[in-house]
C-alpha cells in the first residue's frame, strides 16, 4: 500500500532520538533545523552531538532507553544498533500512538524520512518507502543539480505577488490566468538557466497584468 505524504511543522515540538552515533547525529541535526525541541538518550554521544548539548541546543540523558523517555514526546526516532532496544522503542510507541522511525528497519516504522532537497521554502522529497535509502539519496543528489538556489529566491518573489493578486483580483478567470502566468513555461525555462534578471522582468510583466 502507498504512504500518505505530509509535511510536518515541528516547531517547538518535542522529538526524541534514541542513540548517540553518527546516524543519530544526522537525525538530530535535521530535526533541529526544522525547529524541533530535540531530546537525545544514549550511553555515549558523538563529538558533534556533545557540542550541541554543551551549547544548550538539545537536551541529553545519558543511559539506556526506557519507556519514561516518551513522556510529552511528539515524534520518535530510534537510531541504535541494538535490535532489542529498537523493538522496545517501536512497541512502546505503537501502544501510545506515537509516530516512530527505526533507522534501517522499515517494518518497525510508522513513518519514513525522505531524502530532501531544500531551496528556501521549496522542499523536494524523495522516498522509497524504506526499501532503499541509498537510491533516494542518489536521486536527491541529481535533483540538487537540477534545482539550484535560484528556486528558493524565485519562490520568495512569487509568494508576495500571489498574495496580492488573490487579495485584489475578484474575477476568478482573470485571477487564475495571472497566477498561471507567474509560473509560465518561459519563466521556468529562464529560471532553470539562472537568468534571474529576465525572470524578474517577466514576473513584473505578469504582475502588471493583474492591475495591482
Q: Are residues 21 and 88 in the same domain?
A: yes
Give, as one character, the DSSP assignment of residue 113. P
User: In this structure, is residue 6 part of a structural domain?
Assistant: no
Question: Alpha helices of 13-82 — where are they, by DSSP H?
Answer: 22-33, 47-54
Domain match, 137 and 162 both = no
| C-alpha to C-alpha distances, 66 to 18, 24, 98, 188, nearest whole angstrom | 10, 17, 15, 51
Same domain, 29 and 93: yes
User: Among residues 56, 69, 136, which one has the least CA distance to residue 100?
Assistant: 69
Per-residue pLDDT 10s for the chain (212 aa) are: 678 888 999 999 999 999 999 999 999 999 999 999 999 999 999 999 999 999 999 999 999 999 999 999 999 999 999 999 999 999 999 999 999 999 989 999 999 999 999 999 999 999 998 889 899 999 999 999 999 999 999 999 999 999 999 998 899 999 999 999 999 999 999 999 999 999 999 998 888 865 55
Say what the pTM is: 0.82
Rounded CA-CA distance 156/20 in Å is 37
What CATH number corresponds to the domain at position 21? Answer: 3.40.50.720
Domain enclosing residue 166, as ranges: 150-208
* Same-domain status, 138 and 88: no
Whether 51 is in a domain gets the answer yes
Same domain assignment for residues 104 and 128: no
Produce one character per residue of 8-46: b if its CB has 16 or more CB atoms within 10 Å, e if not.
Answer: eebeebbbbbbbbbebbbbbbbbbbeeebbbbbbbeebb
Amino acid at each position: 500500500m502507498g504512504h500518505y505524504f505530509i509535511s510536518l511543522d515541528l516547531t517547538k515540538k518535542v522529538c526524541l532520538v534514541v542513540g548517540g552515533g553518527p546516524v543519530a547525529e544526522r537525525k538530530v541535526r535535521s530535526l533541529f533545523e526544522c525547529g524541533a525541541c530535540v531530546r537525545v538518550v544514549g550511553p555515549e554521544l558523538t563529538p558533534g552531538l556533545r557540542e550541541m548539548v554543551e551549547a544548550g541546543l538539545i537536551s541529553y540523558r545519558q543511559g539506556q532507553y526506557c519507556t519514561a523517555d516518551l513522556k510529552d514526546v511528539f515524534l520518535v526516532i530510534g537510531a541504535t544498533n541494538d535490535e532489542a532496544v529498537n523493538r522496545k522503542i517501536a512497541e512502546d510507541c505503537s501502544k501510545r500512538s506515537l509516530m516512530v522511525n527505526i533507522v534501517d528497519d522499515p517494518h518497525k516504522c510508522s513513518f519514513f524520512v525522505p531524502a530532501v532537497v531544500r531551496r528556501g521554502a521549496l522542499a523536494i522529497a524523495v522516498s522509497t518507502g524504506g526499501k532503499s535509502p541509498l537510491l533516494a539519496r542518489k536521486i536527491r543528489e541529481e535533483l540538487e543539480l537540477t534545482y539550484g538556489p535560484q528556486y528558493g529566491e524565485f519562490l520568495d518573489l512569487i509568494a508576495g505577488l500571489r498574495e496580492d493578486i488573490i487579495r485584489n483580483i475578484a474575477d476568478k478567470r482573470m485571477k487564475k490566468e495571472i497566477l498561471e502566468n507567474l509560473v509560465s513555461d518561459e519563466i521556468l525555462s529562464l529560471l532553470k538557466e539562472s537568468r534571474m534578471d529576465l525572470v524578474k522582468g517577466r514576473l513584473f510583466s505578469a504582475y502588471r497584468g493583474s492591475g495591482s
